[in-house]
Amino acid sequence: MSASKRIVLSSDHAAIELRQAVAGHIQAQGWEAVDIGPTTPESTHYPDRGAEAARMVASGECALGIVLCGTGQGIMMAANKVPGIRCGVCSDTFSAKMIRAHNDANMISLGARVLGEGLALEIVDAFLSTEFEGGRHATRVDMIKALEA
């Protein structure tokens, strides 16, 4: 499958079950889910987990990334430290659409201790079914990119 259909998923120990549910959900929709774990419940460090996924998106190996931790916040912060990554925590479908449409986000972060599985899957669907609108939003995304330079 081409990289354009490949989505990396990563989490810490707090979000293993939800990550696996999201992986199965997107795989059933025709995406290639590259689930980099973990699979066992030992405590792990969300900065490592977020950075590994983010590097796979920044390199072009995967088109998009989905990261998860207890709140979604810590792993999002780590992912955003990798140049080229635009990742936001989403706990509602409107935000999930808008970070694609206006911010051209290439990663989304979810909080497994915040969201039920049903809402989490709807948020993922909203993110994946929305395209970047470009135009005036491209100017602003370019300004974000310039901050990395």
Binding site for ligand RB5 (CB under 6 A): 12, 14, 46, 69-71, 73-74
Q: Which stretches of 45-139 are assigned E, i.e. beta strand?
A: 64-69, 87-89, 107-111
Buried b (16+ CB within 10 A) or exposed e, 81-98: ebeebbbbbbbebebbbb
Question: In the complex, what is the shortest distance from the CB of residue 104 to ligand RB5, in angstroms, rounded to a whole number?
Answer: 24
102 is catalytic: yes
In the structure encoding, which two tokens stand for residue 34, read together?
A: 């590259």
Which is closer to ligand RB5, CB of 73 or CB of 130? 73
Question: In the complex, what is the shortest distance from the CB of residue 66 to ligand RB5, in angstroms, rounded to a whole number?
Answer: 15
DSSP 55: H
Query: Of the candidates 52, 66, 124, which has an alpha carbon nearest to the alpha carbon of residue 95?
Result: 124
Which is closer to ligand RB5, CB of 23 or CB of 79? 79
Question: In the complex, what is the shortest distance from the CB of residue 149 to ligand RB5, in angstroms, rounded to a whole number?
Answer: 28
Q: Residue number with the shortest CB distance to ligand RB5?
A: 74
The residue annotated as part of the active site, out of 69, 87, 90, 137, is 69
d(C-alpha 19, C-alpha 23), whole Å: 6
Which is closer to ligand RB5, CB of 12 or CB of 104? 12
Give catalytic residues, as residue numbers.
Answer: 69, 102
